[in-house]
Structure 1
């Protein structure tokens, strides 16, 4: 069967590696024309996927991205900072603001500037995480950003209709986001975390990408939060 993504244009922001890159690969495999945008990317094309640089904290940079692409069908936002777990008393709030600026305000900037180019029957997929609803000491930044993102997704699903807005909420996923850990330390963390989950392991980027594909392809889905966390919220 032909995918509903065939011939459509998809912009993935935050796709230089990990989940965003997996979403781009999955959409391209279904026949979409994919533009992968990120701060560490440069203009070019690789295996049929177009890459463009963008700084989500800079409205002018986002405007250039959307003007360069023109009309498109689906916006996927996976940009997110590397957040260090610390209690509020030990946190530099300027650092916390920078984190919010990338994942929450960056998403709002991208959506606002994308709207003149986004088809009326198109979709927006945002990214939260299980720490939006799973409360862990020292994680107030992630919890605040993710909870706000999920509320934002539901609000915008009503405000921007008939465009659809959904949020994908990943659990612990084996991606380069953990590259700062030594190999043995990373594998030990994955084994411990995965062993406590009902599925018995952590997730893979391609498994999470399937959630974004579902949100783009299913025209009857909007205002949803799609949990892909191995049962981490149970």
Structure 2
């Protein structure tokens, strides 16, 4: 019987790469996200590869929507959260705190909403995998929102792995990854950014969504991994 995985943020970027990898294994998928059009396109593509692909429009920053989903979802084997937020950058003195709160509402509190309510829908030996980011442990001026948001999420994973046991709870922490998140950049600037990253990282490469996706599959498949933060960042943290 095919396993069933809910991917929140699965219509694009890293989440879609995870969905593609699982579809190729014949798993049943549920993709959730805010954009119904993106979800429809992702479903159409993945339906050619997977036995079953469903979609649900969901904003995890709204706890009531997560509660409603928990009442209709049924049992799944795994839940993955890759839904991110556009965290504002800049020095604290000039930071837009309302935008900062909105970023926390989605990535941090949204993940907490999922853990609180949807963990009940996960099979007892299943997994919940969240998404952090390498800047949580890399001191970068002007990145206080991303740094503190991801650091809080990483600390929460350790506690949740104990509280929700035997459910396994982990987080994947990507480095700079070429995804749709940079689609709004000038193409030449985007290429320069990625090339510069590849030149400066010990791995001599920038991240691709399919590279990061392998990390999610690892923590899902290995029954001896929980409370773990998996760094996939090309060596950025040792630079």
Give the alignment's TM-score, normalised by structure 2.
0.92
Unaligned runs of 5+ in 1: 1-5
Match of 2:83, SS?
coil
Aligned-pair Cα RMSD in Å: 1.4
Say whether the 8 Å CA contact 1:73–1:118 is kept in structure 2.
yes
Match of 2:21 among 10, 19, 26: 26
2:102 maps to 1:102: no
Match of 2:221 among 212, 217, 231: 217
Distance 1:70 1:147 in 2: 31
2:90 maps to 1:90: no
Say whether the 8 Å CA contact 2:89–2:95 is kept in structure 1.
no
Q: Which has the higher helix share?
A: 2
Unaligned runs of 5+ in 2: none
Say whether the 8 Å CA contact 1:16–1:41 is kept in structure 2.
no
Give the alignment's TM-score, normalised by structure 1.
0.94
How many residues align? The count is 229
Distance 1:52 1:9 in 2: 14
Say whether the 8 Å CA contact 2:88–2:95 is kept in structure 1.
no
Match of 2:67 among 60, 63, 66: 63
Q: Give deviations 1:159-215, integer Å, cap 9, x for gaps.
A: 110000011000000001011211001000111112100111211101100000111
Equivalent position of 1:40 in the other structure: 35
Match of 1:168 among 172, 175, 181: 172
Equivalent position of 2:140 in the other structure: 136
Match of 1:115, SS?
helix
